[in-house]
Amino acid sequence: MVGVLAYVYREQVQSELDHNLNSTFRQGYMVHAGHTAAIDTIQQQYKCCGASSFENWEDSVWIRESNTTNLVPDSCCKTVSPGCGRSNHPSNIPYTGCVHSLTDNVRHQLFIICVVALGICVLPVFGIGLSCCVYIKLRNYAYSGY
């Protein structure tokens, strides 16, 4: 059942991530320390900027409520350094959002779960077949008088 559910929900991953990441990036960055650390790590690890694109930062709580001169967080920069987020030029930041990389990663993990779950389901079938073969051999042995 887990394998089937993993396969079915693989297609819904992007819409769920898109919705949740957008709200987390826009409303949680520099508001919650845990969200900020997670977002910075995601952007640096996956070499992305924003949830769906770097333009997500324009209407974020962080930009509206702080007096920063940055257009994007420093963690978006290709080479992270203090104040590097003042420029959102393609030579400085990636234009792709993190949802694409995260979707690929989650889909890959769900595929692995699906394969492992289905592999585990195959083992009892082999056990049943082997048990039937042993039963037939023992039954034939018992009737032959040995």
Domain boundaries defined on the chain: 2-143
Cα torsion 82, 73, 64, 30: sign: negative
The pair of structure tokens assigned to 89 is 């030029």
pTM of this structure:
0.75
Instruction: Quick: pLDDT tens for 95-134.
Output: 999 999 999 998 898 888 888 888 888 888 899 999 999 9
> What is the C-alpha to C-alpha distance for residues 50 and 85, in angstroms, rounded to an integer?
12
pLDDT-based confidence at 19, cuts 50/70/90?
Answer: confident
Using DSSP, state whether 96 is helix, strand or coil.
Answer: strand
Structure tokens at 105: 């990663």
- pLDDT of amino acid 18: 85
Out of 3.20.20.80, 1.10.600.10, 1.10.10.10, 1.10.1450.10, select the CATH number for domain 2-143: 1.10.1450.10
Minimum mean pLDDT among 20-34, 61-75, 85-99, 111-125: which range?
111-125
The stretch 20-41 carries a mean pLDDT of: 93
Q: How confident is the model over 52-61, as a mean pLDDT?
A: 92
Return d(Cα 55, Cα 95) in angstroms, integer. Answer: 8
> Measuring CA to CA, which residue among 39, 22, 6 is closest to residue 116?
6
Residue 146 pLDDT > 60: no
* 63/35 Cα distance (integer angstroms): 16
